[in-house]
Amino acid sequence: MLTFPNIDEIEKKCKELMIKTIAKNLRNIRLSRRFSQEEVSVRAGISAKHVQNLEAGKKSPSARTALQLAKALGVGICQILPTDHCPRINGDMEAEINKLFTGKEERDIQKAKRLLEVFFS
């Protein structure tokens, strides 16, 4: 009889690995920038205890918190999140982005560009 792995167990292991990788990445980046956890918390607008819990692997950041941390540390979000497949802007992607901006108001374009900088820097 063919048996399949327990999906719940796989999901749990993946989540644990993700949290552990985020914790390691946050700590390594923070230390390389010579920031204290308190400095990062102030820059990111979150509590120092939350930063401590994230670095200890006790918590997982929300998407918003991950973006705030990336900005506070001066890195792209792909440097924090556990992936080897973060996108990079290439010529084709840039052309598609420019098409999306066509006819939009300047303030909307600037907001979108700031968001893209977070993901692709």
CATH number of the 7-79 domain: 1.10.260.40
72 and 43 in contact (C-beta within 8 Å)?
yes
Q: Is the pTM of this model over 0.85?
A: no
Write down the mean pLDDT value for the chain. 80
80 and 74 in contact (C-beta within 8 Å)?
no
Please determine, for residue 1, whether its predicted confidence score (pLDDT) is greater than 60: no
- Tens of pLDDT, residues 17-69: 888 889 999 999 999 999 999 999 999 999 999 999 999 999 989 888 998 99
Ranges of CATH 1.10.260.40 domains, the chain:
7-79
Q: Which two tokens stand for residue 22?
A: 């985020």
